[in-house]
């Protein structure tokens, strides 16, 4: 199986009739919890291998090779010996057989003594290795049959002095280990450096995606380009997603969109009964203004007006439902619960009147038409939720209370007022607002009259004559 992480020796041919040996250092690259690639660095240890071979060659001066033969009677005949030290004493017997005892070599005698008497030894295909102690020192005896299981029963015996191998090898091991560690450290450093070049852009993409998921767009860092094609493509896709969601928030309230950013959330039709405060705002005589105004200039005025009112609605926790021509519909206490929602709706109207006053003055100086608004507010139960079909949904409210709020706005025309609120709204809003009763009104479709109030302003900011007017109106009604 392919290696994805860690270090592993390799042996691959790179040139004809040759092979390189070494270590592959692999570092796995992850994306989205899945491996997408591997950064690999090859460390060639061919030179170290050649140093080991040269060291071994120089250290086996006391090694010897002997060719032996297994005779039918079980004796071992020495056919050849790389050591010529005992050639003058190697006298064969009458049958031409030379034995270790005949040579008088204790080392060779001890080596051949490790051969088992069983004839199966000369039938083994794989080499066999023995370690023995002799007067000459510790030795390794390595046997390999020339023709396993076939005559003649010949075997090559290589005798290597253990000290010749292990003594210099001990110092070489420390040196080679140090070289290997340095090479592996270099490889790890390069791998980490390359991984950091990949990880940093991905970390930036992750931070941006997290901010977008939390609908945070201000102060979000730019992702920038990446030399890695896949990361660069992911960065561009994330930028597109951020721009799209930011633009989409201008069509849908943030609090509603945030509910569907939770994993597993799905938008579906349905609703619940909830007490809310509903606001309708309309521009007086807007049709007549349209007839005598230049279209694009009028659109700019209308957008400026919507910007002021919509910002105040969001500031006071309201949900902007929709724009209906020059009208605005908004409500409070859904989808998020808003304490004192009736008070917040009244505060929006009064604050908007103050803010919009300076705009009207500027429009007057510029010769632009004046906008005078009529507002109706009602507090009552509605069905709030996703209304529509599988093709398209609209998060809105429906019910009798919606109609009552709309009719409160229309009643301003009848009474010459600007802001009319229902008795339920006045009661919920509290005494900090100065109001006066207007009339008991049975709107279209209703038989029970409902008390309607004019919202004058904040009690703490109004003059004594206006407060007296509100009191006298109440007594008169």
pLDDT per residue as tens digits for the range 17-36: 444 444 566 778 888 878 88
**For the segment 68-90, what is each residue's pLDDT rounded down to a tens digit?**
878 777 788 777 776 644 444 55
Chain centroid to CA 343: 43
Averaged pLDDT, 374-395? 89
pLDDT at 239: 75
Any alpha helices (H) in 416-461, and if so which ranges?
423-429
Token pair of 66, please? 């002997």
Q: For residues 103 and 168, which has the higher predicted lDDT (pLDDT)?
A: 103
Burial class (CB in 10 A: 0-12, 13-18, 19+), 409: buried
Cα–Cα distance, 239 to 208 (Å, whole number): 8
Strands 20-31 and 6-12: antiparallel
Token pair of 366, please? 């510029």
**For the segment 254-287, what is each residue's pLDDT rounded down to a tens digit?**
666 666 666 666 666 778 999 999 999 999 999 9
Report the chain's terminal Cα–Cα distance, integer Å: 92
Buried residues in 2-29 as b, exposed as e (16+ CB within 10 A):
eeeeeeeeeeeeeeeeeeeebbbbbbeb
Q: For residues 362 and 24, which has the higher predicted lDDT (pLDDT)?
A: 362
Any alpha helices (H) in 318-378, and if so which ranges?
341-365
pLDDT interval class at 347 (50, 70, 90): very high
pLDDT interval class at 238 (50, 70, 90): confident
Q: Torsion-angle region of residue 340: left (phi > 0), alpha (psi -120 to 50) or beta?
A: left
Averaged pLDDT, 390-400? 86
pLDDT at 364: 93
CA distances from 273 to 333, 335, 399, 453 (A): 12, 11, 10, 26
Q: Among 47, 11, 62, which residue's Cα sits nearest to residue 168?
A: 62
Strands 419-422 and 373-388: parallel
pLDDT at 56: 41
Cα–Cα distance, 362 to 367 (Å, whole number): 9
CB atoms within 10 A of CB 385: 20
Cα–Cα distance, 405 to 38 (Å, whole number): 65
The three-state secondary structure class of 307 is helix
The three-state secondary structure class of 45 is coil
**For the segment 412-464, what is each residue's pLDDT rounded down to a tens digit?**
999 999 999 999 999 999 999 999 999 998 866 677 888 999 999 999 999 99
pLDDT at 98: 73
Cα–Cα distance, 217 to 221 (Å, whole number): 9
**For the segment 123-169, what is each residue's pLDDT rounded down to a tens digit?**
888 888 888 888 878 888 888 888 788 777 888 888 888 777 776 66
pLDDT interval class at 16 (50, 70, 90): very low
1 CB-near residues (< 8 Å, 6+ apart): none
pLDDT at 269: 72
- Number of residues that this document lists for the chain: 477
Residue written as tokens 């061919």?
Answer: 46
Cα–Cα distance, 321 to 345 (Å, whole number): 14
- Prior bond of 335 cis (ω within 30°): yes
Q: What is the mean pLDDT of the chain?
A: 80
pLDDT at 369: 93
Percent of the chain exceeding pLDDT 70 equals 75
Q: Among 283, 279, 322, which residue's Cα sits nearest to residue 422?
A: 279
Lowest-confidence range among 50-54, 195-199, 223-227, 296-300?
Answer: 50-54
pLDDT interval class at 395 (50, 70, 90): confident
Task: Tell whether pTM > 0.85.
Answer: no
Averaged pLDDT, 365-374? 94
User: Would you say 59 and 161 are in contact if contact means Cβ atoms under 8 Å apart?
Assistant: no
Cα–Cα distance, 317 to 402 (Å, whole number): 19
Cα–Cα distance, 459 to 438 (Å, whole number): 18
User: Would you say 35 and 29 are in contact if contact means Cβ atoms under 8 Å apart?
Assistant: yes
Buried residues in 103-134 as b, exposed as e (16+ CB within 10 A):
bebebbebbbeebeeeeebbeeeeeeebeeeb
pLDDT at 226: 65
Q: Partners of 324 in the beta sheet?
A: 327
């Amino acid at each position: 199986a392919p290696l994805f992480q860690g270090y592993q020796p390799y042996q691959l041919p790179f040139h004809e009739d040759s092979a390189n040996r070494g270590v592959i250092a692999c570092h796995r690259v992850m994306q989205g919890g899945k491996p997408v690639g591997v950064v690999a660095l090859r460390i060639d240890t061919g030179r170290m291998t050649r140093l080991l071979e040269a060291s071994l060659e120089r250290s086996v001066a006391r090694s010897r090779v002997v060719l032996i033969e297994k005779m039918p009677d079980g004796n071992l005949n020495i056919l050849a010996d790389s050591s010529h030290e005992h050639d003058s004493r190697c006298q064969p017997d009458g049958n031409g057989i030379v034995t270790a005892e005949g040579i008088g070599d204790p080392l060779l005698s001890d080596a051949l003594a490790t051969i088992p008497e069983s004839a199966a030894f000369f039938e083994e295909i794989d080499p066999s290795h023995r370690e023995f102690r002799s007067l000459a020192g510790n030795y390794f005896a390595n046997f390999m049959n020339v023709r396993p299981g076939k005559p003649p029963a010949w075997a090559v015996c290589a005798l290597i002095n253990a000290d010749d191998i292990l003594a210099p090898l001990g110092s070489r091991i420390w040196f080679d280990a140090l070289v290997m560690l340095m090479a592996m450290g270099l490889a790890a450093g390069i791998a980490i450096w390359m991984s950091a070049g990949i990880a940093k852009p991905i970390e930036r993409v992750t931070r941006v995606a997290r901010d977008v998921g939390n609908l945070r767009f201000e102060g979000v860092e730019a992702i920038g380009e990446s030399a890695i094609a896949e990361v660069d493509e992911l960065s561009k896709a994330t930028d597109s997603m951020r721009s799209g969601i930011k633009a989409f928030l201008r069509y849908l309230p943030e609090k509603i969109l945030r509910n569907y950013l939770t994993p597993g959330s799905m938008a579906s039709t349905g609703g619940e009964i909830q007490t809310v405060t509903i606001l309708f705002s309309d521009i007086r005589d807007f049709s007549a203004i349209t007839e005598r105004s230049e279209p694009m200039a009028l659109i700019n005025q209308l957008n400026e007006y919507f910007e002021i009112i919509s910002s105040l609605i969001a500031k006071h926790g309201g949900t902007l439902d929709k724009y209906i021509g020059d009208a605005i519909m908004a409500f409070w206490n859904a989808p998020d619960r808003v304490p004192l929602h009736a008070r917040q709706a009244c505060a929006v109207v009064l604050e908007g009147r103050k803010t919009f006053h300076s705009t009207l003055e500027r429009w007057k100086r510029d010769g632009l038409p004046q906008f005078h608004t009529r507002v109706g507010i009602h507090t009552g139960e509605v069905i709030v939720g996703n209304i529509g079909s599988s093709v398209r949904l609209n998060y809105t409210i429906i019910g009798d209370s919606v109609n009552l709020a709309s009719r409160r706005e229309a009643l301003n025309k009848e009474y010459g007022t600007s802001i009319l609120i229902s008795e339920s709204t006045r009661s919920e809003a509290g005494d900090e607002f100065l109001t006066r009763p207007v009339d008991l009104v049975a709107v279209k479709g209703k038989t029970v009259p409902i008390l309607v109030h004019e919202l004058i302003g904040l009690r703490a900011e109004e003059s004594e004559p206006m407060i007296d007017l509100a009191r006298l109106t109440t007594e008169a009604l």
